[in-house]
């Protein structure tokens, strides 16, 4: 019964820490370190006889270590998610800006095309009027 209570307490504590850890700012990711030359392997040490240990303490240590590992993993996952969200927002802003620039360029182009078409149609109309006036019989 005590073990069950301890397990529930550890799970509740890790869940609480996870909730509070989400509010902390993310640290930037560290760049990968270059691979180092491997040192020659040392000969294995002979196995020492197992010391008698209290199984309850070992289990409590294992639970604490598991909780700490879970907390670290959750914190890293939250930081990665935050970085990914920030990158996605930046990419979206860039694509929106590019779309606005493209739209302005096409609007400018279409305005220039309209002006050119208006100028051409005006010139065509004047030419046809001049031709019609020349072809018309004079009285």
Q: Do the domain assignments include residue 98?
A: yes
Give, for 23, the enclosing helix (H) or strand (E): none
Query: Is 111 part of any domain?
Result: yes
Q: How far is it, in rounded angstroms, from Cα 77 to Cα 85?
A: 12
Report the number of distinct structural domains present in the chain. 1
CB 27 within 8 A of CB 81: no
- The whole domain housing 18 covers 2-22+59-135
Its pTM stands at: 0.30
pLDDT digits (tens, 9 = 90+) for 2-49: 999 999 999 999 888 777 666 656 676 677 777 776 555 566 666 666
pLDDT confidence of residue 34:
74
Residue 51 lies in a domain: no
On whether residue 94 sits in a domain, the answer given is yes
For 79-137, the pLDDT digits (tens) are 999 999 999 889 888 888 888 887 777 777 667 666 666 666 666 666 666 666 666 66
Q: Is residue 13 part of a domain?
A: yes
Phi, psi of 22 (to 5 degrees): -70, -25
Q: Is residue 39 part of a domain?
A: no
């Amino acid at each position: 019964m005590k073990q069950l209570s301890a397990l529930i307490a550890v799970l509740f504590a890790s869940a609480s820490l996870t909730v509070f850890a989400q509010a902390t700012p993310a640290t930037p990711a560290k760049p990968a370190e270059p691979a180092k030359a491997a040192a020659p392997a040392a000969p294995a040490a002979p196995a020492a006889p197992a010391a008698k240990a209290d199984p309850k303490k070992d289990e409590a240590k294992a639970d604490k270590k598991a909780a700490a590992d879970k907390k670290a993993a959750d914190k890293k996952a939250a930081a990665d998610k935050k970085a990914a969200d920030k990158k996605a927002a930046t990419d979206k802003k860039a694509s929106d800006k590019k779309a606005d620039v493209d739209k302005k360029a096409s609007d400018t182009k279409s305005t220039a095309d309209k002006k050119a078409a208006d100028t051409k149609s005006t010139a065509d109309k004047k030419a046809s009027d001049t031709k019609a006036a020349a072809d018309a019989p004079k009285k």
